[in-house]
Structures are given as structure tokens and as C-alpha cells.
Amino acid sequence: MRYLMRRSFHGVLLLVAVSVLCFLFSDLAPGSFLDEMKLNPQISPQTSTALRAQYGLDQPLAVRYLRWVESVTHGEWGYSFAYNLPVSSLLPIRARNTLALTLAATVLAWAIAIPLGIWSAYRNGRWEDRFTMGATSFLLSVPELVFAIGLLFLAVRTHALPAGGMQSLDAERFGLWQKTVDLGRHLAVPVTALVLASLPILVRHVRASMIEVLDMPFISAARGCGIGEAKLLLTYAFPAAANPLISLFGLSVAGLLSGSLLVEAITGWPGLGPLLLEAAMSRDLYIVIGIVMLSTIFTIAGTLLADVMLVVADPRVRAE
Amino acid sequence: MLFTNNCNPAQLRHGARGTIVSRACLLCLLFAYGLTGFAAVPQPPQRGEDLLLTDNQGGRYGGTLVVAQRTEPKSLNPVTAADAPSREVIGRLMADLIHINRVSQQTEPALAKSWSMSKDGRTFTIRLRHGLRFSDGQPFDADDVVFSFQLYLDEKIHSPQRDLLIIGGKPIEVKKLDQYTVRFTLAQPYAAAERLFDSLAIMPRHLLARPYQEGKFVQAWTLASSPDEIAGMGPFRMKSYVPGQKLVLERNPYYWKMDQNKNRLPYLDELVFLSVGNEDAQMLRFVAGDTDIISRVGAENYALLSREASSRGTELFDLGPSLEYNFLVFNLNDLKSKNLDRLAAKQAWFQELKFRQAVSAAIDREGIVKLVYAGRGAPLWGNVSPSNKYWVDQSLPHPPRSVETARRLLREAGFSWRPDGQLLDRSGQPVEFSIVTSSSNAQRMKMATIIQDDLSNLGMNVHVVPLEFRALIDRVFQTYDYEASIMGLGGGDADPNPEMNVWLSTGSTHIWHLGESKPATDWESQIDQLMQKQMLALKYSERKHLYDQVQEIIGANLPCIFLATPDILIGAKKSLANFKPAVLEPNTLWNVEGLYFAQEIQASALSR
Amino acid sequence: MKGKRKLVIAAVFLVSLHVAILCAGFVAPYSPTVQNRDFAFAPPTRIHLVDSRGSWHWRPFVYDWEPRPNAIYEYEESRSGRRPVHFFVRGAEYTVAGIFSSNLHLFGVDAPAQLFLVGTDNYGRDQFSRVLYGGQISVAAGLLATLTSLLLGLLIGCVSGFYGGWVDESAMRCVEIFLVLPWLYLLLAVRAFLPLHITPVHAFLLLVGVIGTIGWARPARLVRGIVLSVKTRKYVIASRGFGASDTYILRRHILPETYGVLLTQAALLVPQYIVAEVALSYFGLGLSEPLPSWGNLLASLQQYNVLVSCWWMFAPALALVLISFGYHEVANAFHEQLQSGST
């Protein structure tokens, strides 16, 4: 319990530190939100300057930060320059959409990677293993974006799946079952792209870890005792191999909000990704900070989960 | 199912009182929705309603038009919204007094039935149509016009369009003469005064007066506003918004245009804006049939689409060169106040006219059109695109590419070559400079690579430096820390007046030499005088003559080395009738009220 | 000795790939920056042994590509003349490792014919040459960046896991900050502070530095997990009982346990970092035109029309697959050697 309290306190400190760093970094980056107006011959510099003052962009960093903190206490989390809306109204729906995507992808990736990695380790050196390793090498060498576009292209060519987005145009009129099916069809392409991108890493780690464990004396001993291969792999070998996998799992949870940025942008999935990319490019600062704060919370939760699981799963680790 | 599970206004407004009120509104709306049915039905013409007769005919009611946008709209407030997707949506919700026909590029009456200009060109009297109503049924009259201009001119709101209305240093004066007549007074005569009114939306006083008085106008008409708070005179009205996905507009039942058979326009039931991502994703949606129109396609994608066009039931249009112009600009700013000495040494080269002429002679413009625009574009030697038929100077010389001419010019300017081919200046320094360009614009990056290769034939060592867009703007407009840059401007209106600030020496977009308090060179002061004169001149032929001279001076002095312009490439479903894409923006939706689906399949959408 | 044989085979394969890349000037028929503007996106030149009349030639030959009129990026073979492929020809000058220059090329055809083994890119530049030259920078940058990341991760993970307490807490909070920060702004700021033109050497070092510094977080957490588990094992405690110092325990007992994770990460990170250059180039931190790197070669695949019609642009991905497969096999074999050596 004490441990959890301490970690939560650290988490809050971390949130504050990240918010300060965010502000600092954004100040260092060249350019500001109103720069696009400079290219427009029909807008005068006076209007540009006046708008800067209206948005508070000409204030010193500390003043802007304190104003933002005040806005957080009111539950608004700052105002978006582009939308003229409080950030807290823009994020929840997008975050929900992103989580739907990344949770599905993470669950699927782990569900495939663990059996595949175990089997590949079991068949170490044989053609099944070679083939898996060759496939993972290929998947690693192709950028994620190319997967996304390639899959979309295939989906469109075969008319099997929608060409992007989260719902069909007339989805409002669907019944519950039809809506679920529709959502599933739209999830197919982005989830596949994400799974293909993260699978090689997971498979390789599972395999490497299992190979190490399978070489250990206690496995040969267990085999000698007549324990069947399946039981051996799953209940003896796998838990011993779980250490790096738990750390990876924690990192998976940490990346739930931020890992799908590019795929969302390409497939038009209405999550945090396109919002963050656009806000970062247009220097819509408070949206970026809001999303970074959300990601921080997930990261804290992910590493905490991993640390707790490490203690629980591996009795050789003692928490201090 | 208007917007309950997608963008609940109750969640987005502050305060408990707001929640109860908005829940009541929700119930009323659901009730009203139930009454009116799925689509907003066009209201029969009332007595005294002065509808505009268009030449559309033969259209059938029904159908949903789906259009893709690269990013979603940010705001529905016509006075503060500055980004392109928002303006595209707002343009369909609102109407203006005098409108520029995108095909003929001339003005035509809109909400204004007729207008007259005084002899001295300073006073405009506009007579409005009678009996028109906003999309919520409330009447429209001169009070709304006066109120709208008050919003645009308000000094605390800082609308980006306010500067348009400042002529001769003073804002336009707006005065209501009677219920349907308004007078505008300008501080000095302005030839293109009519064109000013295009895209200045007329807003409903009955909805916006209160937020304005309370000082909350900037927060009005955001994406979180409920549809009943938004009303306009455009062909469509707001229906629903799903964050990150789509914005749905429905027919305005009180729209003031009718077709030849006295049917009230628009034909379409709904207009949906899908937010799609980037151009490649847009392609995929169009190919899949999700969207009905694709605009501003790249040339390679265009070739891909045209190969399969007939089998997919789509049609492709190449409208010829756009109005935008891409150019290479050298840093000719006054750098004394900045700490940029190494740059100052290089400016000696850039300021030499023969140097710029040599660079211009060595650039392979045909190669740029071929490799960057896949042949669908036009090379440029001036700032006016060949498709701008009213303003392009036909007699402007188009010298062909010639590396020998370039070398000769450099020799005359005192440059020489090392045995290994490297170009040296008078003092023996190797000529080396970098071209910055936006990393998100693939076409300009390609142009930079081609120019780098072309200039290596002259022995110049050119580096291509891609920068993130805003970092680029910061360097070009703020710190002046760059050597050369490839940028693009234009595409707004055909008339030269919106571009004043590019060519006037004191202008804010006088990119090569910003912050001039007086013209730095003779030819710049010549351009200043000519531009001022053409702004005041009232006859087209006189303005054209003056502007021709401006183009010639620009061509002779090369402050910018013009490169090329892409063609406007558009695709649409064959079943979309009355589709007349234009070179001016909005290329495809400017006549959305006259568009309809010709096939049987689309009309049955109404019966769903 | 099967394991040793596997290691040798894998090592030979990898070394020959690297030699080919190092001697890119010799193996590639053209310079990577020469533009042939009439042959943009030309498909790979077909090599024939049998000509149109059906007679067999011992020396392989090619036909010229001719652009199809009124179409872009479409070409057909002109049957007009046979262009035989010669070996050990004289061509453009190049230098090997900056020291030794020559103009001898492994193969080529007489001008004006062109031999595009893997087609051309947007400007008509020979992809085969660009992939070979690009490998020089990409493989080196990928390796160095991976080395940096792993070293940093190993250091921080070991110290953090071994000492525990507040050292661990603060190190892990640092990891979390690294995972969460909006690197975009920092990268933009870094670019703004750099001079306009970054020489290729500096760009290379920058790539290595940036990628290596951002990427240490994951290896650090993985290593820490292993260290936490290992440090409580009986033999470590016994070692302590015998008076072993911290460094001895770290070096002798804990470090070997991390090799599995480190080698796996190494094999994973090299290709990932090579591909990461694509993202960096949006900030202007990648390698600039006209120099090729596998990252910026693969970037063109993000365009729909290239992805769909120009399959030969996947060549850098193929090269990357070969290299990463090679590294993986070597890492695997090495790991097995270590394991069999220790049991």
C-alpha cells in the first residue's frame, strides 16, 4: 500500500515536471500558431500582433504556465487556438477512439506473439523457426506507414474492407449488432497495421527468452520426470521466461495512447493521433500539452503495472 | 439520432443551468426532427420573397454529397475562422452580398439585388433582395448586413478579414438607408470594390447580437455549438458533427435561389465533409467510392485514376494551370541589425542582377513540370499564371533554358571558374548557398533537388535544406536567417489587388526584402507607384495596362525567379450532374446548390 | 561444433554484404546523384540472353527503354539495338573509404544505353547504385545508434536495478519522462540552433546522436528487470558472502544474464533505427538531397502511386531485410556460443 502511495506521489511530481518541460520545449521550437497568417498577403501584421496578444502568446513563459495551471484547476486544461474550445472538451472522445484501437491491437499482438514465440523457440533451428525469423526481419524493415497504406490499398482493391475512418457514413441508422460489425470492419486495417509493426519485437523477445530458459537444467530435469511437452512449455518454461516480457508489457500499456499516431493519421481513425500531429505542426500548444499529460498518466500506470507484476510473477525479485 | 452519442452539447457547456436548458433544447429538437422527417424539405416560395433565378434546370431532389478534407474544420465562426477546411464549410453555410462567379471570374448579384457606385468610386449603394429568410426561418434585412460588418470591423475581435475592409488607411463606413438598402463609403476610390464583398458572410443579428454584446462573440459558433444556434443564408445549414470524422450539413429549406422551373434550390439533401488525412488517404477513399469528389489531385494519382475512370464510373477534369505560383527567392533583406555576417557576404552575389538572371536561365522549367507535376502544369516566368486570362501579360518574354547564356551572364558579372568546375566570385570565394523549403511540401522539395542539379552545371554548390513549415516561416519572416528559399503564393483571386502586399515595398509579404520603410531600389518604387495607380483606376483597360508594366518590371528585375504552377486536377462521380469545376477556389463546391445526382440510385436515398 | 559453423556462415554472409556496401563505387554502375530526367520511375532493365530472333548469346545484353508517347512513367523496350553487358568497365570516378579512388566498375553497358538493375526513382537516378551507396550511411548510422542506445540503456538499467532505492526510482522516472516527452518540439529546437547547411558528416553524427539518445528507454527497462531478478539469486548472494565487490558481481554474474535481451534488442533496433531516419527528415534532421540513405529511399513509398505502381522502390527494404536477417543470425549464433560456453 505504502508503495502505491509513494508511486502515486511520484506520478504527480512527474506530471508537473513533464508539463514544465513541455512548456520549455515549445518555447524553444521556432515558429508560433499565427505564423501561417504571415504568408497571407491580405492580413496585416497589426492584426497578427493583436491576435498574439489576445491569445496571450506575447506573455513571458512563466505567466503562460501559471495561466495554464489555473485553467487546469477550472477543468478546462487550456484553450485551443484553432478550435476556440477548452482542451478538456476535445480530448475525451478522441482518447476513447484511440484506446479502442490500441487495446484491440495490443491484445491481438500479445495473443499472437506469445504462442508464436514459444513455438518458434521450441523448434529452434528448424525451418519453422527460420521462416518466422525471416518474416519478422521483413516486418521490421518496412516502415509502419507503408504497412498502413499498403493494407488500405488492398482493402480498397478487394472491396473487402472500408477505406478508412471509424464508422460508415450512415452508421447512425444501424442497430447495435450492425454497428459492432461496422466498427469491427473499420478496425481491421489499422489494427492489422499496428499488430504487424509490433509483432516482430514481441515474437523475438518471447523466443529469445524461451530459448534461454529451455536450455536450463531444470527443464531437462522436468522432462526426465516425465512431464509432457505442452505442460513443460506453458507452466514451467514460460513463467521463468516472463521477466523481459513483463517489462515489455508495461511498455505496451505505457504506449497505449501514443503508439498509434501515424497509423491513425493514414487510416483516418479519429483518435488522438491526427489531433496531436496537427496541433504539434500548427503549434496549438495546449492541445499538445493536454495529450502529453494524458500519455504521461498512461505511462505511469504502465510502468507501475510492470513493476508490480515483476514482483508478483517472479518470486526472485523482492521489492525494496 | 442527430448527435446524441457523438457530440453532446450538454457535456460541452459549462454550468448546471446550461445543462438543463440544453437538455430541453435537445428534446425540442428531437420533437422537431420527428416532425420534419429525415431531410429538411424545401419551403414553398412565400409571397414577396425575391428569389434569384439561376440557370440550373432538370435537377432532381435528393442525395447526399460526400466530400473529403485533409484536416477537419476547426470553427464555424465566419469572422474568426482562418483555416481552409473551416472556410470551405462556412462558405456553404453562409452567403455574401456580391459574389464572384468562379468560372467567369466576374462579379454577380447575390444577396444584393443590384448596386450602384458613385462617380468618384467612393460610395456604394446596395439594394438587398426582399423577403428572404435565414436558415432558421427568421427574416433577413439591412440590420443584419450592418451588424455583420460591425463584427468584421470590430477592433477587439481582430478578424483576419478586417484588413480587407481598410481602404486608404481607413475602415469602410457602413450605413443603413432603409430596411433593404445599405450604403458603403470608402476613404478613396477602389476599382475592385465589388470584389471585396465576396466571401464576407452576412450573419444573423437575432442569434449573434447577444453574444456580441456580452463580449463572447469569439466563442460563438464553435464546433461544440448546437445546430440551432447557427443560421446563415447559404444553401445548407449545420446538422451534426462527429469529432475527427465528419461534419454533416443539411439543405437550407429557406434558400433564396431557385432553378428555371421555380423549384427552390439546393437539390441535394445533405452535404457531408469527411476528414480524411492526407492526399494518399483521399485517393483511397475516392477509389473506394466513399467520396463523390476529389479535388487537387497530384498528377501521378491523376494518371492512376484516369486509367480506371470509366470502369469506376468517375470522370476526371484537367482545368489547366492554377493561379498559384512557385518561385525561388533570394534573401535580399537588410541584415545590418542582425548578426548574420556570413550571410551578408553571400548577399553580394544575390543582389547582382546578372546572377539572378543566370540562375533563371539555367533552371530547367520544362524538367520541373515533367518531373514534379508529371507534365500537368505550366512553366512560369512571371507571377501571373497563364490561366488568369484577364490579367496575364501575353507579351512577357519566355526565354528558353540556356546554360551558355547563364555562363555568359556570370562572366560579365565578374565570376570565374576553377579548373574543377566550381564557380568563384570576384574575390575567389566559391559560390555555395542553401535553399530552404518546407519538408511537408513534396513538390517544392523536388523542385529544389532539380534546381540543385541544374545549378551544378554552372559550378554552383547548392544545398537543399528541408525545414518544418513553421520553422521555415520563422526564418523567412522573422530572423531572416536563410539564403534562398522556394515558396509558393497566390491562388486566391484573379484580381491583382489581394496581392498588393507582395509587390508593395512596404508590404508584409514582400518576401525578398521585408521591413522596408521606403523602396530600396528604383524599380521597387516604380512598382509601388504603378500598383497604387491601378488600385485607384476604375477602368479595367487602364488597370490592365498598368499591371502589365508591373509584370514587365518584375520580369526584368527578377526579385523572384518564377518556376512553375500545377494544373488543377479534379475527379468526380459521373452520376453527379451539373458539375462545373473552376480554377478559382472553392474549385468544386462553388455551385453546390445546383449539383444533383442524375442516377435513379441516388434519388432513392430519400426514401430510406 | 555445429554452433560454431553456424556462426561462421552467418558472419561470412554479413561480411560479404558489408564489403559490397563498402565498395559501393565498384559494384554500382553509376554515381548515385546523376539524374536522367527522361527516365523517371523506369522499371528494372530486363537482361536477356536470347534475342528477338531467337538466337542465344553468351554475353547477356539489354535493350534501351523508350518512353511511351503521351504517357508518363510508362516505358517499353526498343528492339533496335542490342547493348551487351560488359564486366570490369571504366565509368564514373569514385573513392573507397575516402582514401583510394578509381573508375573501375564491376559491370556496365556502353553509353548511351542505361542499365537500371532495380529501376529508377523520381528523377531517373539508378536505384541500384543508390541502394548500395545509401547502405554506407544507413548501416553505419544504424549500428552506431544502436550501440549508443544499448550502452546507455545497459548502464542505466544495471545501476538502477542493482542499487535499487532512490537511484532506481529516479532513473525509472527519467525513463518515463523520456517515453512521454513531445520530442517534436525538441527536435525542431535542435534544428533551429544548427546552421542552415549540415555537412553529411555532421548529419550522420546528428542522426546517431538523436536516435541513440531518444531510444535508450526501452533497453534500460528491460535490463533493469533482468538485473532485479538476477541480483537475488543464490550464487550472487554467495559471491557477496565471499567478499566480492559490486563491480565484480555486476561484471561476472549479472552482465552475462543480460546478453540475451541485449542481443535481441540489438537485432531489433538496427533496422528500426535505419527506418527512423524517415521521420527525422521531416524536421530537417535527416540526410539531405541528393545523398541517398535507405531511410529517404523508403520515404518515397509513402506515396500511394509509388506504392501501387513502382514495386522496384521496395529494393532498400529488401536490402534492409538481408542485413537485419544477417545481424540476427550472427547475434543468435553468438548467443548460442555464449550459452554453450557457460553451461
Q: Are residues A182 and A297 in the same domain?
A: yes
Q: pLDDT tens for residues B245-304?
A: 999 999 999 999 988 888 888 999 999 999 987 888 888 889 888 999 999 888 888 988
Q: Are residues A106 and A51 in the same domain?
A: no
- Tell whether A90 lies on the interface with B, counting CB pairs under 8 A: yes
Closest Cα partner for B363 from B458, B262, B222?
B458
Q: pLDDT tens for residues A204-256?
A: 899 988 888 888 888 888 888 888 888 888 888 888 888 888 888 988 888 88
Q: Identify the bridge partners of residue B423 per DSSP, sorted by sequence position.
A: B417
Q: Residue C275 has what pLDDT? A: 80
User: Neighbours of B (≥3 Cβ pairs closer than 8 A)?
Assistant: A, C
Taking the C-alpha atoms of residue A89 and residue B153, their distance in angstroms, rounded to an integer, is 30
**Residue B173 has which C-alpha cell?**
463606413
Q: Are residues A295 and A196 in the same domain?
A: yes
Q: Identify the bridge partners of residue B485 per DSSP, sorted by sequence position.
A: B329, B436
Residue A143 included in any domain: yes
Choosing among B276, B300, B439, which should be mutated to test the C contact, i.e. which has the most C CBs within 10 A? B300
Placement of cell 570516378 in the chain: C93
Residue A181 has pLDDT above 80, yes or no: yes
Residue B87 Cα to chain centre, angstroms:
9
Give the pLDDT band (50/70/90) at residue B35: very low
Q: pLDDT tens for residues B151-209?
A: 999 988 889 889 888 888 899 999 999 999 999 999 988 878 888 899 899 999 999 99
Q: pLDDT tens for residues C26-37?
A: 888 888 888 888
Handedness of CA B373, B377, B381, B387 (dihedral sign): negative
- Contact assignment for B304 to C72 by CB distance below 8 Å: no
Residue B462 has pLDDT above 90, yes or no: yes
Residue B379 has pLDDT above 90, yes or no: yes
Q: Are residues A55 and A103 in the same domain?
A: no
Q: Residue B603 has what pLDDT? A: 41
Question: What rounded mean pLDDT belongs to chain C?
Answer: 84
Q: Residue A128 has what pLDDT? A: 86
- Contact assignment for C290 to B453 by CB distance below 8 Å: yes
Q: pLDDT tens for residues C11-25?
A: 888 899 888 888 888
Q: pLDDT tens for residues B397-411?
A: 999 999 999 999 999
- Contact assignment for B466 to C281 by CB distance below 8 Å: yes
- Tell whether A78 lies on the interface with B, counting CB pairs under 8 A: no
Residue C260 has pLDDT above 80, yes or no: yes
Q: Identify the bridge partners of residue B174 per DSSP, sorted by sequence position.
A: B184
With CA atoms as reference, the chain C residue closest to B367 would be C37
Helix axes C315-342, A176-214, angle to 10 degrees: 40
Question: What rounded mean pLDDT belongs to chain B?
Answer: 87
- Contact assignment for C325 to A318 by CB distance below 8 Å: no
Taking the C-alpha atoms of residue A38 and residue A6, their distance in angstroms, rounded to an integer, is 49
Q: Which helix (H) or strand (E) holds A9?
A: helix A2-28
Q: Which residues of chain A neighbour B441 with C-beta distances below 8 Å?
A: none
Q: Residue B351 has what pLDDT? A: 93
Q: Are residues A111 and A42 in the same domain?
A: no
Domain boundary among A73, A107, A135: A73
Q: Residue B120 has what pLDDT? A: 83
Residue A319 has pLDDT above 60, yes or no: no
Q: Residue B34 has what pLDDT? A: 45
- Contact assignment for C176 to A145 by CB distance below 8 Å: no
Q: Residue A287 has what pLDDT? A: 93
From the list A30, A44, A166, which residue is nearest B508 (CB)?
A44
Window A:199-228, CB contacts with B under 8 Å: none
Q: Are residues A150 and A198 in the same domain?
A: yes
Average pLDDT over residues B309-327: 91
Q: Which residues of chain A neighbour C301 with C-beta distances below 8 Å?
A: 143, 146, 149
Q: Given 3-state DSSP classes, what are the helix, strand and coil percentages for chain C, each rounded to the nearest 5?
A: 60, 15, 25
Q: Residue B608 has what pLDDT? A: 34
- Among A14-28, A165-179, C93-107, the minimum mean pLDDT is found in C93-107
Give the pLDDT band (50/70/90) at residue B39: low
User: Neighbours of A (≥3 Cβ pairs closer than 8 A)?
Assistant: B, C
With CA atoms as reference, the chain B residue closest to C33 would be B453
Neighbour-count burial of A12, counting CB atoms closer than 10 A to its CB (0-12 exposed, 13-18 middle, 19+ buried)? exposed
Q: Residue A186 has what pLDDT? A: 92
Provide the number of structural domains found in chain A.
2
- Contact assignment for B301 to C283 by CB distance below 8 Å: no
Residue A44 included in any domain: yes
Average pLDDT over residues C79-97: 80
Placement of cell 476613404 in the chain: B187
Q: Are residues A260 and A195 in the same domain?
A: yes
In angstroms, what separates the C-alpha of A153 from chain B's closest C-alpha?
7
Residue C78 Cα to chain centre, angstroms:
36
- In this prediction the ipTM stands at 0.88
Residue B348: count other Cβ atoms within 10 Å of its Cβ. 13
Q: Residue B31 has what pLDDT? A: 47
Window A:267-286, CB contacts with B under 8 Å: 267-268, 270-271, 274-275, 278, 281-283
Taking the C-alpha atoms of residue C322 and residue C10, their distance in angstroms, rounded to an integer, is 11
**Residue B21 has which C-alpha cell?**
436548458
Taking the C-alpha atoms of residue C302 and residue A157, their distance in angstroms, rounded to an integer, is 18
From the list A10, A21, A22, which residue is nearest C169 (CB)?
A10
Residue B602 has pLDDT above 50, yes or no: no
Domain boundary among A46, A73, A100: A73
The single-letter DSSP state of residue C78 is E
Q: pLDDT tens for residues B95-111?
A: 999 999 988 888 999 99
Maximum CA extent, chain A: 85
Taking the C-alpha atoms of residue C153 and residue C220, their distance in angstroms, rounded to an integer, is 4
Residue A198 included in any domain: yes
- Contact assignment for B500 to A32 by CB distance below 8 Å: no
Q: Are residues A130 and A256 in the same domain?
A: yes
Q: Are residues A32 and A166 in the same domain?
A: no
Residue A235: count other Cβ atoms within 10 Å of its Cβ. 11
- Contact assignment for A243 to C226 by CB distance below 8 Å: yes
- Tell whether B75 lies on the interface with A, counting CB pairs under 8 A: yes
State if pTM tops 0.90: no
Taking the C-alpha atoms of residue C36 and residue C122, their distance in angstroms, rounded to an integer, is 10
Placement of cell 441535394 in the chain: B268
Q: Residue B18 has what pLDDT? A: 43
In angstroms, what separates the C-alpha of B328 from chain C's closest C-alpha?
17
- Contact assignment for B158 to A54 by CB distance below 8 Å: yes
Average pLDDT over residues C271-286: 79
Residue C324 has pLDDT above 60, yes or no: yes
Closest Cα partner for C34 from C113, C106, C92, C84?
C92
- Tell whether A60 lies on the interface with B, counting CB pairs under 8 A: no
Q: Are residues A158 and A219 in the same domain?
A: yes
Give the pLDDT band (50/70/90) at residue C236: confident
Residue B307 has pLDDT above 60, yes or no: yes
Residue B599 has pLDDT above 80, yes or no: no
Closest Cα partner for A68 from A13, A16, A29, A12?
A16
R_g (Cα) of chain A, nearest Å: 24
Q: Dihedral (C-alpha) B139, B140, B142, B143: value to the nearest 10 degrees?
A: 60
Taking the C-alpha atoms of residue B399 and residue B117, their distance in angstroms, rounded to an integer, is 43
Q: pLDDT tens for residues B254-268?
A: 999 988 888 888 999
Q: Residue C61 has what pLDDT? A: 84
- Tell whether B595 lies on the interface with C, counting CB pairs under 8 A: no
- Residue C44 makes CB contacts below 8 A (sequence gap 6+) with C116, C117, C118, C119, C312
Residue A86 included in any domain: no
Range of the domain at A30: 2-73
Q: Residue B3 has what pLDDT? A: 31
Q: Dihedral (C-alpha) B474, B477, B483, B487: value to the nearest 10 degrees?
A: 90
Q: Are residues A224 and A122 in the same domain?
A: yes
Q: pLDDT tens for residues C144-188?
A: 999 999 999 999 999 998 888 889 988 988 888 888 887 777 888
Residue A311 included in any domain: yes
Q: Are residues A55 and A129 in the same domain?
A: no
**Residue A181 has which C-alpha cell?**
460489425
Percent pLDDT > 90 in chain B is 60
Q: pLDDT tens for residues B568-577?
A: 999 999 999 9
Q: What is the CATH number of the domain that holds A267?
A: 1.10.3720.10
Helix axes C255-281, C315-342, angle to 10 degrees: 170
Residue B16: count other Cβ atoms within 10 Å of its Cβ. 7
Q: Which residues of chain A neighbour C317 with C-beta distances below 8 Å?
A: 138, 141-142, 146
Q: Return phi, psi of residue C263, to 5°.
A: -65, -40
Residue A154 included in any domain: yes
Q: pLDDT tens for residues B112-145?
A: 999 998 888 889 899 999 999 999 999 999 999 9
In angstroms, what separates the C-alpha of A60 from chain B's closest C-alpha?
18
Residue A279 included in any domain: yes
